[in-house]
């Protein structure tokens, strides 16, 4: 059997994360100071995949290319595949046919994070001689997702895209393992009511054609980072799960840094309190401030006389004289500062290059 390939979907306009995604691809928004897309690539690499195709859009493709490069950082080969219009997940596979050829492959949505590796799911494709293995996760609101109905043996019986009356609470996670039979299935489906080629329709065609389509229900966390609150939740979960204490910056004697805090080289903490889990990027200065749990602060950031918790602060941001900032995302190069008026806790989502005076 041919070596398995990876197919990462990194197109889409990211409308639910605007204004951040007016100036950046949603897959490059950082979680715990690392682009979401890096976690995806690392998970594929850890499963032994070294040949990866990345679907890009005309609007954000250059950003994706400049960030991932050739793949040499991970010891893999990356090939970029342009999807001119967002016409569905199955359409993304269709435009990748020349790259995929007749190899089995893992399709991985580039804005999804899961708290487990994927090697065992790939093995399941081979061990069961399946045509597809679909990752599932129980969710409280299945009507917001693609939903699967399975039998007692874990085989897929039926798939539905955002059904009004879901047959189960099992959502499609956004990681799929396919053999080449998926291409014929995609060729046989038509666009849905919203004008897209749905991957759920293609998988259902496999089921209808008596192909072997298995599921695997993950117990670990799964995070879709498509909206502000989802991104903040992802940041909190990843910080809580992955961050270890590592202090490579400078901390003066008047500061207190407690818990799992990562302080990168060149960063300075002056007369401040930091309570982890927190990650702080290179050459950032924290002065006379409080940084509470579940906060990620990028590089070259200046924070002075401010208090914040559960925030994502991107690179080159200035925050000054803010009594309390919480549940907020601040885009690159933005400035948040206070005038003479008094404010209580703030919740903000600010795009790149903004200047907000409060």
- The last residue of one of the domains, among 238, 267, 291, is 238
Domain shared by 171 and 289, yes or no: no
Q: Which of 238, 254, 275 is the last residue of a domain?
A: 238
What is the per-residue pLDDT across 239-290, written as a single tens digit (0 to 9) for each? 998 889 999 999 999 999 999 999 999 999 999 999 999 999 999 999 999 9
Q: What is the pLDDT of residues 314-334, one digit of tens each?
A: 999 999 988 889 988 888 888
Mean pLDDT of the region 166-193:
93
Peptide bond into 19 cis (omega under 30): yes
Residue 312: CATH number of its domain? 2.160.10.10
Instruction: Identify whether residues 76 and 116 lie together within a single domain.
Output: yes
- One domain for residues 175 and 255: no
Query: Which CATH number is 121's domain given?
Result: 3.90.550.10
- The pLDDT tens digits for 104-152 are 999 999 888 888 889 988 888 888 888 999 999 998 888 888 899 998 8
Contacts of 213 (CB under 8 A, 6+ apart): 130, 131, 132, 133, 134, 155, 156, 203, 206, 207
Q: Are residues 261 and 177 both part of a single domain?
A: no
Q: Do 132 and 47 sit in the same domain of this protein? A: yes
Query: Please, is 252 exposed, middle or buried when counting C-beta atoms within 10 Å of its C-beta (0-12, 13-18, 19+)?
Result: exposed
Range of the domain at 10: 5-238
Same domain (yes/no): 251, 216? no
Q: Where a domain ends, among 188, 213, 238?
A: 238
The answer on 292 and 188 residing in a single domain is: no
Query: What is the domain count for the chain?
Result: 2
For residues 213 and 264, membership in a common domain is answered with: no
For every residue of 120-187, DSSP letters joined together read HHHHHHHHTT-SEEEEEEE-S-GGGSEEEEE-TTSBEEEEEES-SS-SSSEEEEEEEEE-THHHHHHH
**What is the value of pTM for the model shown?**
0.86
> Is 144 found in the same domain as 27?
yes
Pair (348, 323) in one structural domain: yes
In this structure, the answer to whether residues 229 and 284 fall within a common structural domain is no
34 and 152, same domain (yes or no): yes
């Amino acid at each position: 059997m041919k070596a398995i390939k990876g197919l990462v979907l990194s197109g889409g306009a990211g409308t639910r994360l605007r204004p951040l995604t007016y100036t950046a691809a949603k897959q490059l928004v950082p979680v715990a100071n690392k682009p979401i897309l890096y976690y995806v690539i690392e998970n594929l690499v850890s499963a032994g995949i070294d040949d990866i195709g990345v679907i890009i859009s005309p609007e954000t493709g250059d950003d994706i290319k400049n960030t991932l490069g050739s793949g040499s950082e991970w010891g893999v080969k990356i090939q970029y595949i342009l999807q001119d219009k967002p016409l569905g997940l199955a359409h993304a596979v269709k435009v990748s046919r020349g790259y995929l050829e007749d190899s089995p492959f893992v399709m991985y949505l580039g804005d999804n994070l899961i708290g487990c590796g994927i090697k065992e799911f790939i093995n399941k494709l081979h061990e069961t001689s399946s045509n597809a293995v679909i990752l599932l996760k129980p969710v409280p609101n299945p009507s917001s997702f693609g939903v699967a109905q399975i039998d007692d043996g874990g085989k897929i019986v039926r798939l539905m895209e955002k059904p009004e009356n879901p047959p189960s609470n099992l959502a499609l996670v956004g990681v799929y393992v396919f053999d080449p039979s998926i291409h014929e299935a995609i060729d046989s489906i038509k666009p849905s009511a919203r004008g897209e080629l749905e991957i759920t329709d293609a998988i259902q065609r496999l089921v209808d054609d008596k192909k072997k389509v298995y599921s695997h229900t993950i117990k670990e966390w799964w995070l879709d980072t498509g909206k502000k609150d989802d991104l903040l939740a992802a940041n909190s979960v990843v910080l809580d799960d992955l961050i270890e204490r590592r202090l490579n910056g400078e901390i003066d004697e008047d500061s207190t840094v407690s818990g799992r805090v990562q302080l990168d080289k060149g960063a300075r903490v002056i007369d401040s309190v930091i309570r982890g889990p927190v990650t702080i990027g290179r050459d950032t200065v924290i002065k006379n401030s409080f940084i509470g749990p579940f906060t990620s602060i990028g590089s070259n950031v200046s924070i002075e006389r401010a208090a914040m918790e559960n925030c994502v602060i991107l690179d080159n941001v200035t925050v000054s004289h803010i009594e309390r900032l919480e549940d907020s995302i601040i885009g690159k190069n933005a400035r948040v500062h206070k005038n003479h008026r008094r404010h209580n806790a703030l919740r903000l989502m600010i795009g790149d290059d903004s200047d907000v005076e409060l």
